[in-house]
């Protein structure tokens, strides 16, 4: 097998493995932000709130934003759970 094809297969395999891993098993890819940097607010924006975000850690923490957050809070990193 040509070396280029082998390298592509290794890279593609690694990418697919990373995409298939559950979010909780992946290392943090972004540095944690302060609440000000994330534009955190203690109130929801419609249905968008920490309790409905993939980054929320019950009862009041966030994987990407420093400090405690309210389940009814919101920030610009909001990522709706499926």
Q: Which of 20, 24, 28, 77 binds ligand SF4 (CB under 6 A)?
A: 77
Question: Cα(68)–Cα(51) distance, rounded to whole angstroms?
Answer: 13
Detail the DSSP E strand segments found in 1-82: 56-57, 61-62
Distance (Å, rounded) from C-alpha 82 to C-alpha 78?
13
Contact between 72 and ligand SF4 by CB under 6 A: the answer reads: no
**DSSP-based three-state secondary structure for 6:** helix
- The nearer residue to ligand SF4, 9 or 45, going by C-beta atoms, is 45
Footprint on residues 50-69 left by ligand SF4 (CB under 6 A): 50, 53, 55-56, 62, 64-65, 69
Q: Which residues bind ligand SF4 (CB under 6 A)?
A: 38, 40, 50, 53, 55-56, 62, 64-65, 69, 73-75, 77-78
């Amino acid at each position: 097998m040509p070396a280029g094809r082998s390298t592509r297969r290794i890279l593609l395999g690694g990418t697919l493995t990373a995409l298939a891993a559950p979010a909780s098993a992946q290392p943090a890819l972004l540095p944690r932000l302060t609440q000000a940097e994330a534009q955190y607010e203690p109130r929801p924006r419609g249905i968008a709130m920490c309790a409905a975000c993939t980054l929320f850690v019950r009862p009041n923490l966030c994987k990407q934003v420093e400090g405690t957050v309210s389940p009814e809070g919101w920030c610009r990193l909001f990522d709706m759970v499926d």
